[in-house]
């Protein structure tokens, strides 16, 4: 039996949302027979020329649903344009002297990223190294999917709204025992992995040494630190990048102006054959949030209020801007294909911080970046687009009318959605103090959760995400 045809008229859904009328329209943004055509093509078309991999850090089913509902129930997200979906388990492993390693059901971004980057389970906090007897004992370096694409002559890119040395972007182009060893000034816990000790150096140094064609995100302070040893001793990581031919930009205008040709005369015969890599570091730490809003409170929470949008300073590019530019730089005059990872990093960070509007604003911005990738895929059907989260997180959509003993047990925020209704989000994985105890005054960092995460795909190779798989299976899918 053919699946039911699902269509939606965008203009009508916007009108419905504006008037608060709620008829039951199905989500999804497919043209007639589009799903069938996409699935039929995926059955025979299995090898992508390009792969764009997008992940929302901490963006489990509750987080994507909260963003969807906030924007209006009849207003489909870009991710709804991806007809092939599945689930991935995300468990990591605990230290042991040798295999078998016990599962750890509540993983972090380092171990989960290492799963798709290398196809291997490892310890939390570990970056593309295998497990070992203890967290401070380095494991074996594992080849990454980015290194494999590079070896085949493809171009590669790594984009994040976090510091570009944060765990998720780090897994592609560095190997280190602890995620905290981000820059040359942060190597105290990774002393044996310093270049002076015969190691590969900090994450920032390794990312530049990998000559990743496009590196865009925050984290400038890691790169302006001085390298203590090795061939670039006494220089900053930015100096080292420029020695290795990187072009360096620090704001949205600089990014908009740059090409992979670099400042070379047009008659330079190497202009196209030999693109110059781009390092864009737009903030000293993590990039600024898109939205703000009411603080979470224990018990019933605040009186319902909408989020405040457009909070990102204009000199910082949006994730969609970075995505669009990265695709242009990687695609331009390139017949060898490319691999690009895009991370919406602060969904997780604002989930930790019980900041509902911060979290939803980052999810919406991430979905806008998904739209950029899907628009490219439409005109480049040899491109595989995969979307997922690294691990699940804490936020839950709960009843707005709870009272007395039925009140949520954590920190809650009540938001007025674009449909004009109340969306209550609660954060209950840390800090209330237990039954009968007084809640602690300030919300502590909420915890990740261990649920499976959704995976969406569109393009050649997308059938691999169907059903329930493990994050380590993504390694093969992303390898093309």
Binding site for Zn ion (CB under 5 A): 348
- Alpha helical stretches, state H, 45-134: 61-71, 109-118
CB of 445 to Zn ion, least distance (A): 8
- If the CB atoms of residues 112 and 396 are measured against Mg ion, the closer one turns out to be 112
Q: Which does 17 bind (CB under 5 to 8 A by kind): Mg ion, Zn ion, none?
A: none
CB of 344 to Zn ion, least distance (A): 13
Nearest-angstrom CA–CA distance, 26 and 233: 59
Which spans of this chain sit near Mg ion (rule: CB under 5 A)? Answer: 57, 109, 168, 345
Q: Which does 232 bind (CB under 5 to 8 A by kind): Mg ion, Zn ion, none?
A: none
445 is catalytic: no
Q: Which does 63 bind (CB under 5 to 8 A by kind): Mg ion, Zn ion, none?
A: none
Q: Which residues have C-beta within 8 Å of that of residue 73, sequence separation ≥ 6? A: 17, 22, 419
Residue whose C-beta lies closest to Zn ion: 348
Q: Which does 345 bind (CB under 5 to 8 A by kind): Zn ion, Mg ion, none?
A: Mg ion
- If the CB atoms of residues 206 and 449 are measured against Zn ion, the closer one turns out to be 449
Q: Which residues have C-beta within 8 Å of that of residue 215, sequence separation ≥ 6? A: 157, 158, 159, 164, 169, 207, 208, 277, 278, 279, 280
- If the CB atoms of residues 57 and 473 are measured against Mg ion, the closer one turns out to be 57
DSSP assignment of 271-305, as one string? TTTSPPPEEEE-SSSSPPPS-B-PPPEETT-SPPB
What count of other Cβ atoms lies within 10 Å of the Cβ of residue 257?
A: 8
368-381 burial, b if ≥16 CB within 10 A, otherwise e?
bbbebbbebbeebe
CB of 162 to Mg ion, least distance (A): 5
- If the CB atoms of residues 226 and 447 are measured against Zn ion, the closer one turns out to be 447
- If the CB atoms of residues 112 and 202 are measured against Mg ion, the closer one turns out to be 112
Nearest-angstrom CA–CA distance, 271 and 195: 33
Q: Which does 168 bind (CB under 5 to 8 A by kind): Mg ion, Zn ion, none?
A: Mg ion
Q: Single out the catalytic residue among 109, 160, 202, 324.
A: 109
- If the CB atoms of residues 80 and 207 are measured against Mg ion, the closer one turns out to be 207
* Closest listed residue to residue 399, CA positions, set 430, 426, 375: 426
| Two tokens, residue 29 | 């943004």
Q: Which residues have C-beta within 8 Å of that of residue 317, sequence separation ≥ 6? A: 216, 252, 255, 256, 280, 282, 325
* Closest listed residue to residue 417, CA positions, set 397, 444, 393: 397
Q: Which does 88 bind (CB under 5 to 8 A by kind): Zn ion, Mg ion, none?
A: none
* Closest listed residue to residue 431, CA positions, set 417, 442, 416, 419: 442
- If the CB atoms of residues 175 and 352 are measured against Mg ion, the closer one turns out to be 352
CB of 448 to Zn ion, least distance (A): 6
CB of 95 to Zn ion, least distance (A): 20
What count of other Cβ atoms lies within 10 Å of the Cβ of residue 1?
A: 3
Q: Which does 289 bind (CB under 5 to 8 A by kind): Zn ion, Mg ion, none?
A: none
The total number of residues shown for the chain amounts to: 480
Q: Which residues have C-beta within 8 Å of that of residue 362, sequence separation ≥ 6? A: 56, 161, 289, 290, 291, 344, 345, 346, 347, 350
* Closest listed residue to residue 409, CA positions, set 440, 385, 455: 440
Nearest-angstrom CA–CA distance, 456 and 277: 30
Q: Is the dihedral of CA 92, 97, 99, 100 positive or negative?
A: negative
CB of 164 to Mg ion, least distance (A): 11
CB of 393 to Zn ion, least distance (A): 7
Helix, strand, or coil here: 62?
Answer: helix
- If the CB atoms of residues 84 and 353 are measured against Mg ion, the closer one turns out to be 353
Residue whose C-beta lies closest to Mg ion: 168
CB of 395 to Zn ion, least distance (A): 12
Q: Which does 323 bind (CB under 5 to 8 A by kind): Mg ion, Zn ion, none?
A: none
Contact 135, 98 (CB under 8 A): no
User: Hey, which residues are catalytic here?
Assistant: 109
């Amino acid at each position: 039996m053919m699946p039911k045809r699902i269509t939606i008229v965008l203009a009508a859904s916007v009108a419905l949302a504006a008037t608060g009328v709620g008829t039951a329209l199905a989500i999804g943004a497919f043209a007639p027979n589009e799903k069938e055509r996409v699935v039929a093509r995926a059955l025979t078309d299995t090898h992508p020329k390009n792969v764009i991999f997008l992940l929302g850090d901490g963006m489990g089913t509750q987080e994507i649903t909260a963003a969807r509902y906030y924007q209006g129930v009849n207003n489909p997200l870009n991710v709804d344009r991806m007809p092939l979906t599945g689930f991935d388990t995300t468990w990591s492993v605990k230290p042991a002297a040798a295999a078998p390693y016990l599962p750890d059901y509540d993983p972090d971004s380092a171990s989960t990223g290492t799963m798709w980057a290398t196809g291997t389970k490892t310890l939390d906090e570990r970056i593309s190294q295998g497990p070992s007897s203890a967290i401070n004992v380095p494991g074996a370096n594992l080849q990454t999917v980015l290194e494999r694409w590079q070896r085949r002559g493809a171009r590669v890119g790594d984009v994040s709204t976090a510091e570009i040395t944060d765990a998720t972007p780090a897994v592609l182009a560095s190997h280190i025992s602890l995620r905290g060893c981000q820059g040359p000034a942060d190597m105290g816990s990774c002393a044996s992995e310093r270049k002076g000790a015969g190691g590969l150096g900090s994450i920032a140094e390794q990312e530049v040494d990998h000559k990743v064609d496009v590196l865009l995100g925050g984290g400038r302070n890691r790169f302006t630190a001085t390298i203590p040893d090795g061939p670039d001793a006494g220089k900053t990581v930015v100096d080292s990048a420029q020695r290795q031919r990187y072009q360096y930009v620090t704001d949205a205008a600089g990014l908009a102006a740059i090409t992979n040709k670099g400042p070379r005369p047009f008659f330079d015969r190497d202009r196209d054959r030999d693109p110059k890599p781009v390092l864009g570091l737009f903030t000293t730490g993590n990039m600024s949030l898109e939205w703000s809003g009411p603080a979470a409170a224990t018990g019933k929470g605040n009186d319902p209020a909408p989020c405040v949008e457009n909070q990102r300073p204009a000199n910082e590019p949006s994730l969609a801007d970075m995505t669009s530019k990265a695709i242009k730089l990687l695609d331009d005059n390139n017949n060898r294909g490319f691999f690009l990872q895009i991370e919406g990093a602060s969904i997780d960070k604002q989930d930790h911080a019980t900041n509902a509007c911060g979290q939803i604003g980052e999810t919406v911005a991430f979905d806008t970046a998904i739209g950029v990738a899907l628009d490219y895929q439409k005109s480049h059907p040899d491109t595989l687009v995969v979307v997922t989260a690294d691990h699940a997180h804490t936020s839950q959509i709960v009843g707005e009318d709870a009272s007395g003993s039925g009140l949520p047990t954590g920190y809650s925020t009540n938001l007025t959605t674009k449909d004009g209704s109340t969306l209550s989000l609660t954060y209950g994985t840390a800090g209330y103090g237990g039954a009968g105890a007084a809640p602690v005054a300030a919300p502590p960092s909420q915890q990740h959760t261990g649920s499976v995460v959704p995976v969406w795909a569109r393009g050649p190779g997308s059938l691999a995400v169907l059903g329930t798989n493990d994050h380590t299976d993504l390694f093969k899918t992303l390898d093309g």
